[in-house]
């Protein structure tokens, strides 16, 4: 019995350490005709999963946005969302999750289709629920593959921190674009074309710690810095 337990622990440990984006997929943990609860296991399957920032987007196939959110934190805080909708069960939905992990330097993108599945439980008697069409694994992109990005991440500095009214960016670039998120991963404000050393006003923010997520010219997430508001 001891040998079996040791083997199980070894396998689980290796799954956690060597887990990859391709092992993360969209899953449905609960649903009814007018609501869906989605889940992903990125906290466990991506190394340093506690650092994941997850962007969720659900749309119709005609492009209408049904639900959007950004999550982070513990396994269920970042990996589970619930939303109501009015999409008929005869239609399908597109689900996209983009997980950015600055510590691992990766972006993991998961795309799949949600559809209404009916199962015959007794002859002529059916039950239905929303299901995932293909259980696609995520596609991983290395956000530190460029030497320029890695160098800029190391060179960039936000100051003063802690700060009361504003912060400034010091780095190699002349212009920056970034999004400020709270500790729950919620987007508070997005800034474009901010010059180096230009003052960024956060005087209306509450006291606490915030994430500053930088983007490139194509609006792709690059890396995260932290700022403390006192």
Q: Kindly report, residue by residue over 135-147, the tens digit of the pLDDT.
A: 888 988 876 554 4
Worst-scoring range by mean pLDDT, 72-81, 144-153, 203-212?
144-153
**DSSP 3-state assignment of 125?**
strand
Q: Is the peptide bond before 61 cis (omega within 30 degrees of 0)?
A: no
- Tokens at 213, concatenated: 């997520």
Write down which residue in 89, 117, 142 finishes a domain: 142
Mean pLDDT of 185-212: 90
Write down which residue in 94, 127, 142 finishes a domain: 142
Pair 100, 151 in one domain: no
Pair 124, 208 in one domain: no
For residue range 31-83, what is the model confidence (pLDDT) as tens digits? Answer: 999 999 999 999 999 988 988 999 999 999 888 999 999 999 899 999 999 99
- Domain carrying residue 217: 147-229
Pair 151, 138 in one domain: no
Beta carbons of 198 and 168 less than 8 angstroms apart: yes
C-alpha distances in angstroms, 220 versus 5, 73, 94, 129? 43, 21, 20, 34
Pair 97, 157 in one domain: no
Question: Which residues, 6 or more positions from 81, have their beta carbon under 8 angstroms from its beta carbon?
Answer: 37, 38, 56, 67, 69, 71
Write down which residue in 80, 111, 142 finishes a domain: 142
Count CB neighbours of 173 within 10 A: 14
pLDDT of residue 124: 84
Pair 58, 163 in one domain: no
Q: What's 163's domain CATH number?
A: 2.60.40
Pair 183, 104 in one domain: no
Domain count, the chain: 2
User: pTM here?
Assistant: 0.58
Pair 136, 181 in one domain: no
Pair 163, 110 in one domain: no
């Amino acid at each position: 019995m001891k040998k079996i337990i040791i083997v199980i622990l070894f396998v689980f440990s290796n799954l956690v350490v060597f887990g990859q984006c391709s092992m993360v997929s969209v899953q449905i943990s609960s649903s009814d005709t007018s609501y869906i609860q989605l889940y992903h296991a990125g906290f466990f399957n991506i190394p340093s999963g506690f650092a994941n920032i997850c962007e969720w987007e659900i749309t119709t196939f005609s492009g209408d946005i049904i639900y959007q959110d950004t999550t982070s934190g513990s396994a269920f805080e970042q990996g589970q969302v619930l939303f109501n909708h009015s999409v008929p069960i005869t239609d399908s939905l597109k689900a996209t999750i983009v997980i950015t992990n600055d510590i691992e330097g990766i972006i993991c993108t998961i795309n799949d289709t949600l559809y209404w599945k009916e199962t015959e439980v007794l002859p002529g008697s059916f039950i239905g629920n929303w299901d995932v069409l293909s259980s696609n694994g995520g596609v991983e992109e290395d956000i530190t593959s460029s030497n320029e990005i890695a160098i800029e991440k190391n060179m960039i500095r936000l100051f003063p921190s802690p700060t009361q009214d504003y912060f400034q960016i010091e780095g190699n670039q002349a212009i920056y674009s970034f999004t400020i998120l709270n500790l729950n991963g919620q987007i508070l404000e997005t800034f474009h074309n901010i010059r180096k050393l230009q003052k960024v006003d956060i005087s209306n923010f509450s006291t606490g710690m915030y994430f500053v997520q930088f983007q490139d010219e194509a609006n792709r997430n690059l890396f995260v810095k932290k700022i403390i508001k006192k």
